[in-house]
Amino acid sequence: MVTTSAQRLVTPVAAAAVALAALLAAAGTFLDNGENRAREYLFVLGLVAVAATAVFGFVVPKALARERRAGVAVALSLLGLASVAAFWSGVPPVLAGGGALLGWAGRDARRGRTASLVALAIGGFALAADVWAYVGDVTGWF
C-alpha cells in the first residue's frame, strides 16, 4: 500500500488539534474567574480524546483510503464550525482539523476538488472562530 503525504500527516494534525483544544480549554477553564476547576478541564480533555479517536482514528483514515473524500471533508469542517457554538467542549479543533486535512488531501483530485477546497477553507475558518470565541470568553468581550 502506498502511503500518501496526507496519510503521513494524520498523526501530526491530530496532535496539533488535540494540543490546541487542550490549550484553549485550559485558558478557558483556569483563566476565567481564576478558580481551580480541574474537574471541568479533565471532562473537556475526555471529550477531546473521544472526538480525536473517532475523527483521526477512524473517520479520516477511512476517508483517505477512498478517492472520493470531499463529502466527508465538508461534513467534518461544517461540524467543526457548528460546534464553535459549544467552543468550551474542546471539540471544534478536532472536527475542523480533520475536515481541513481531508480538504487539503483532495485539493488536487479530479473529482471533488472544489468541495475539498471549500472544506479546507471552512475548517480553517472554524479554527479561527474557535480561537476567537475563547479569546472573547476569557477577556469578557462577549
Residue 29 lies in a domain: yes
Residue 1 lies in a domain: no
Let me know: does 105 contact 116? Beta carbons within 8 Å: yes
Q: How many CB atoms lie within 10 A of CB 19?
A: 12
Residue 2 lies in a domain: no
Residue 78 lies in a domain: yes
Residue 20 lies in a domain: yes
Domain count, the chain: 1
Residue 134 lies in a domain: yes
Residue 115 lies in a domain: yes
pLDDT category at 140 given cuts 50, 70, 90 is: confident
- Rounded Cα–Cα distance for residues 90 and 12 (Å): 18
Residues 89-122: tens digit of each pLDDT: 999 999 999 999 999 999 888 889 999 999 999 9
- Rounded Cα–Cα distance for residues 94 and 23 (Å): 13
Residue 68 lies in a domain: yes
Range of the domain at 63: 7-139
